[in-house]
Amino acid sequence: MSYLKIVRSARPEQEPLNPTAKAANDGERAKALHRLEILGSPSEEIFSTITELAALTFRTPIALMSFVDTDHVFYKQAVGVDKTGLSVDRKKSPCSLAILNSEVTTFRYELADPCVLADKEKLSGAGYKFYAGAPMFTSDGYAIGILAVVDRVYREYSNEEEQALKDLAKLTMAEVEFRLQVKQGKAVLDLNARLKALHEKVEQLRP
């Protein structure tokens, strides 16, 4: 696969990014997403806990777990904003470009957002100035979603924080694929032990 590396500190003189950019294999990628039967599904504790853990790890007020379909982005879970279960136009979500990158994608908005990949007025009004998103890959290598953290201050992050976000994205993908195996009767659901471990990490990180 080919990916676009994006690390952008947005300034007014920069050209806006193309919000309609897609990978050459976007059709196959969308099919891989649909096979997982995650789109439109309700909130689930295992995923809400992972999303909260991402926000606590980065110490950001907002974290998002999203899945990118052909034309829409579905927010499976959200912390800090009322987006859980909602879908938005793919052109209005940074996740639409973050899935083009094999590593963590970062957008830092020093001023009002000049990018057209999201709703300019809505973003600047909310004061979002930082976005970091780690792609979630299926076992056969398709980037189908993003685990992202968002802040209202312009900021940097450590290598350890970046690796933690990538690890949480991998954990999310493992749970998504395990979820499908359970639905298909190929695995036995036993969430208690995994949830207990995640809740313990959440409690350790809470201020």
pLDDT tens-digit map of 150-194: 998 888 889 999 999 999 999 999 999 998 888 887 777 787 888
CATH number of the domain located at residue range(s) 7-205 in this protein: 3.30.450.40
Q: What is the pLDDT of residue 26?
A: 92
Q: What is the pLDDT of residue 65?
A: 96
- C-alpha of 14 from chain center: 25
Q: What is the pLDDT of residue 42?
A: 94
In contact, 146 and 104? CB cutoff 8 Å: no
Q: On the CB side of 56, how many CA atoms lie within 13 Å of its CA?
A: 17
For residue 132, give the nearest of 79, 48, 22, 58 by alpha carbon: 58
Q: What is the pLDDT of residue 91?
A: 82
Boundaries of every domain in the chain: 7-205
Q: What is the pLDDT of residue 177?
A: 92
* Lookup: tokens for 65: 């777990």
Alpha-carbon distance of 11 to 110, in angstroms, equals 7
**Segments of the chain with pLDDT less than 50:** 1-15, 111-124
Q: What is the pLDDT of residue 201?
A: 87
Q: What is the pLDDT of residue 126?
A: 56
Specify the pTM: 0.84
Q: What is the pLDDT of residue 149?
A: 94
In contact, 80 and 61? CB cutoff 8 Å: yes
